[in-house]
Amino acid sequence: MRRTLVLDNGSHTIKGGFADSDTDPQVIPNTVTRTKRTKRVYVADLIDKSSDLSGLYYRSPFERGYLVRWDAEISVWDRIFSNDVLGCTPTDTHLIVSEPVFNFQPIQRTMDEILFEEYQFQSLIRTTATKLATIGAAEIIYGDTTEPDCVLVVDVGHAFTYVVPYVNGKQVSAGVRRLDIGGRILTNYLKETVSFRYWDMMDETYIMNAVKEKCCFVSQDFYRDLETARGCTGGRGIRTNPLGLEYVLPDFTHSKQGFVRGQGSDIEQLMSDTQILPLCNERFAIPEALFHPTDIGLEQGGLHETVIQAVGACPEETRGVLLSNILLVGGTAALPGLRQRLQSEVQALAQCRVLVSAPEDPVGQAWRGGQALARMGMEEAGLGDWRLTRE
């Protein structure tokens, strides 16, 4: 029996699993990692088996959001398709895989050749993650199964943020906009900030990414929170400030990523010699770059302005519907408060009602759309008969 494998092939992680599975997709790092001290190389999820997570070197298959290092990607795919991860037999499998918006034709051709000639998949559907995210979006936006005619997908990913409008299931190419900020830039911004203020963390991408995911949030009133955080300068000031917290850096014996002080349960008792990273206004000042890119030297409008520009480039009769059907997805979309802040900022610029919706798991939304696509017909999903086959 031939099964369908769905891969949301992101630049930071790959979300993969079989369409007939009732479990959530596996989230696997899309990178080849080398440790600084032992020089050992780990492919994809094997990095989780290492205890030497300080100063990691990453080799990503993606460069500026596009898949260009095929040797690294093939190594990751080999690992993912193996029995240790997904247990996929390509010769008996149909594949649905995501690609970047406006992907280059040479990259598309190379991907097709590798998937058919090297792995020998039976058939291939290659489409964008934003398109997959719209499949089944009605339940998120409306709470029912009536698919909306217009959806504006805001995909806040690792390398970039894409704003992509869809009308009657078709991408409105004239309205696609890209903001050159994603999760990677926010992590790097956090590394630079805490390295200047506290500890040198410039080589600790793995740790600081965990700090960002566990501690950062999007402020609903930046200047109010900035005033609240004033005087939060470490020690007792951090502990008494409502926005302050202390992050216990890992010792790589009892803790591999670290944790917020007071939330380490039994591990915290075992770590007698701890290094503390104090955090206060960094928690919300770093994600603020999504709305004010000029803070980090990018001469672009913020996320809310990008949404307005994208809608403004669409047919006039669709603009109101698009603004009321904004779907927020992507790994960085999991930041607390981002949905509410985006809605309030866009509403302040719009002349009609704005509604921003987000799934409970914005990281896996594209994969779940691929799962729904595998269970329905191509025509019903708005992809026509587009499918590549090996025969």
The answer on pLDDT for 80 being more than 60 is yes
Quick: pLDDT tens for 139-175: 666 565 566 788 999 999 998 999 999 998 899 999 9
Instruction: Give the CA dihedral 139, 145, 147, 148, nearest 10 degrees.
Output: -60
- Sheet of strand 245-248, all strands in order from the earlier edge strand to the far edge: 259-260, 245-248, 276-279
Interaxial angle between packed helices 183-197 and 205-215, expressed in degrees from 0 to 180 and rounded to the nearest 10: 100
What would the DSSP string read from start to end of 291-321? T-GGGGT--S--HHHHHHHHHHTS-HHHHHH
Percent of the chain surpassing pLDDT 70: 88
Quick: pLDDT tens for 348-385: 999 889 999 998 889 999 999 998 888 775 445 445 44
pLDDT value, residue 267: 62
Residue 219 CA, chain-centre distance (Å), reads 20
Q: Using alpha carbons, select from 240, 193, 198 the residue that is nearest to residue 212.
A: 193
Quick: pLDDT tens for 166-217: 998 899 999 999 999 999 999 999 999 999 888 888 888 888 998 999 999 9
Which residues, in sequence order, are CB contacts of 77 under 8 Å at separation 6+? Answer: 119
Q: Which residues pair with 357 in a beta bridge?
A: 327
pLDDT value, residue 384: 47
